[in-house]
A and B are shown apart, each in its own frame.
Chain A
Amino acid sequence: MKGGASSSTRRRLVPYALLGPGLVWLLLFFVVPMYFMGEVALRSGTLETGFQFNWEFSNFSDALSRYDENFIRSFIYAGVSTVLALAIGYPLAYFIAFRGGRWKNALLFVVVAPFFTTYLIRTIGWTTILSDDSVVVDVAGSLGILDLFQTLGFTDTDNRLLATPVAVIAGITYNFLPFMILPLYASLERIDQSMIEAAKDLYSSARQAFLKVTLPLSAPGIVAGTLLTFIPAAGDYVNVIFLGSGNQSMVGNAIQSLYLNLRDYPTAAALSFMLMAVIFAIVVVYIRFAGSEALMGDEEEAT
């Protein structure tokens, strides 16, 4: 080993070396473009007359007030979808991690494989399954589930699932399931079985062992999974297009239409930044609640 002083300098530089390539990539290809987008967000005008740089901060507040309904819908849909994805994904991830055995990787592949078929085709599959006179809707109707949804205010019709919030949420949940399952799996798989056995040796029941050992230890995975699901889901727009209608429009749809149909680049950019800001605020609150240890792992430096 080299002398003390230079080895500790080397050690201090290690994190930067590790971070380097990835962060440089993000800096170059994300931060810089977004910076220019920020500049566009402060312009005003139209494409035909030219966009002038006016320090137009009102773009941001206008965006928020004009699309307030979209914001509310986005966060409700994303939130519900995240909870559903957690409910469906956690047991599945648990099964793969603990009972998967040598099939683990195969099962993981099965979880992700639907993505290879492209979003459009998958969704066409769903529109076939959920179409107005399909088996699913028939059964749901006769079981009174559709009426229930209408009473609870989830939808405003009682004879279909498509073009309602229910279908949109179902679509978002489905499409983001792998984002929930993979981090959960990564975190669950690491749990040392002997700790669970120790708990059982100490007379805890299976349920208690789960609640007191497994669940807390999988917290980083839960936090990661919910973030990976909620954050992109809030900005999603495709599910509304295929499974919903204009009444379910989310912020993502508004941004799409501002950018492509209205060609109002400043408002589109401003709305995007507002979306990012609100998501960021939610995430900060969430982390404070969940404990930043679970997210960032405030570890003492080990070596």
Chain B
Amino acid sequence: MRGLSRTKDPGKWAPWRALLAAGVLAAGLGIAACGGDDDGIGGGGSDDVSVAEAEGEPSGTLNVSNWPFYIDKRTVGEFEKETGVKVEYNEDVNDNSEFFGKVQPQLERGESGGRDIMVVTDWMAKKMYDLGYLQDFDKDALEPAFANLVPALESPSFDPDRNFSLPWQSGMTGLVVNTAEAPDVTSVNDLFDPQYKGRVEMLTEMRDTVPLVLKADGINPEDATEEDWTAAIDKIRDAAESGQIRKFTGNEYTKDLANGDAVAVIGWSGDAVQLQADNPDIQFVMPDEGCMLWSDNMVIPVGAPNPTAAYAWMNYAYEPQNQAQIANYNYYFTPVDGTREVLEEEGSDAADSELVFPDEEFTADCSTQDEPPGGPEAVADVEREFQSVITG
């Protein structure tokens, strides 16, 4: 290829051009800096959180952002018929962090992008609330819903008074195991057993993985210190670097379990049900030390155009009849009291599933506390530590 270039000077940047470019850049940045040093990026939650007031009868359009495949086909239509509210049901939440990334700029400015309800997991709901992106509920409007909320979910640590979040569906994070290949796995510590080297996986979700490792070492996440978290993360790091842990996944572990590439993973109860349908050996195993209990919550963002309709939707979903449809479709842990009876009447298998209706004993050791201790700086440090394990 040398032979092809003509004898022209391959091109040096004329020095004056480079200086000019640098000068323009500096000037621009200087102007930007003068424009104030906190123009609208972050800055913590506002002190006065607004309440989304309900006004009169529900009407107009309701805009919901939810996770995909989280609702059966009939509920939306039936709601529309019963209330006359038109529903725009969007399944554009596919990951808490990704969703946050894409709505953050709008929420920062007090806009919701048209959304009345968003469904996000506990920790993300808390984060959004602390940043001032959510509104408080008009509790009066939600009385019917709260009346049916199962006691276990009435007062979670991140929102003790249920001021801004109401569970849509709940789930458990524990072990999902191919019991034929790995019959002895009953605790998260078994994932560190060398006989399973290269065939175990953990979640990229720090708030699922690390508390479980803490629990397996006998530490209650509610009492854990920052040192405890760091020690647990180091333990995980060693396992990752040595190849004990095959990889950290979102829900891709489902593929690896189905394939046989993995035999035991930290995973979610709803997925286990789906996998079991095709391979009865794959089951959700409640770890000896207990699981993590979480919910995907309905929250109302700032700037929501139609909170009244939002409350109508929440109340509707909390009627056992309607919830039964949803629970039957999802096989996740349902937050609505009275659903089991309805499902029993219908003769559905879901009524007997301990994953959909776990009894007290089953979830006795499960925790909901998943935040690292300390203020925002400390939490950021821990998050950074964990991310360095995941992304090398």
Contacts and interface: CB of A to CB of B under 8 A. Distances in A.
Do A and B come into direct contact in the complex, CB within 8 Å? yes
A128 B255 CA distance: 9
B11 to A, nearest CB: 6
Contacts of B29: 38-39, 42, 55
A259 B101 contact: yes
B42 to A, nearest CB: 4
Contacts of A107: none
A49 B375 CA distance: 11
A132 B261 contact: yes
Interface in A232-256: 241-242, 244-249, 253-254
Contacts of B32: 39, 53
A43 B29 CA distance: 12
Contacts, number: 145
Contacts of A49: 42-44, 376-377
Interface in A105-143: 124, 127-128, 131-133
Interface magnitude class on chain B: 35 or more
B5 A46 contact: no
Contacts of B377: 46, 49
A20 interface: no
Interface stretch (A84-92, A154-162, A196-204, A275-283): A154-162
A55 B42 contact: no
Interface magnitude class on chain A: 35 or more
Contacts of A222: 1
B199 to A, nearest CB: 8
B37 to A, nearest CB: 5
A190 interface: no
Contacts of B100: 260, 263
B4 interface: yes
Nearest to A287: B10
Nearest to A220: B4
A216 B3 contact: yes
Contact of B8 (A38, A40, A262, A293): A293
Interface in B14-69: 25, 28-29, 32-33, 37-38, 41-45
B219 to A, nearest CB: 24
A260 B391 CA distance: 13
Q: Among B2, B10, B384, find the residue whose CB has the most chain A CB atoms closer than 10 A.
A: B10
Nearest to B35: A53
A261 B127 CA distance: 12
Interface string A151-178: 0000011011011000000000000000
B276 interface: no
Contacts of B387: 257-258, 261-262
A47 B1 contact: no
B380 A249 contact: no
B130 interface: yes
Interface string A28-71: 00000001001110110111111111110000000000000110
A242 to B, nearest CB: 7
Interface of B: 1-6, 8, 10-11, 25, 28-29, 32-33, 37-38, 41-45, 97-98, 100-101, 130-131, 198, 204, 240-241, 243, 245-248, 252, 255, 259-261, 376-377, 380, 383-384, 387, 389-392
17 contacts: A48-B42, A49-B44, A53-B37, A73-B392, A128-B259, A156-B243, A160-B261, A216-B1, A216-B3, A222-B1, A242-B252, A246-B247, A246-B391, A262-B384, A292-B10, A292-B11, A298-B6
3 nearest interchain CB pairs? A291-B5, A50-B43, A245-B247
Given A49-B44, A292-B10, 19 more contacts: A39-B32, A45-B42, A46-B376, A48-B45, A48-B130, A49-B376, A50-B41, A244-B247, A246-B248, A247-B240, A247-B241, A253-B391, A257-B390, A259-B101, A261-B97, A263-B101, A287-B10, A292-B5, A293-B5
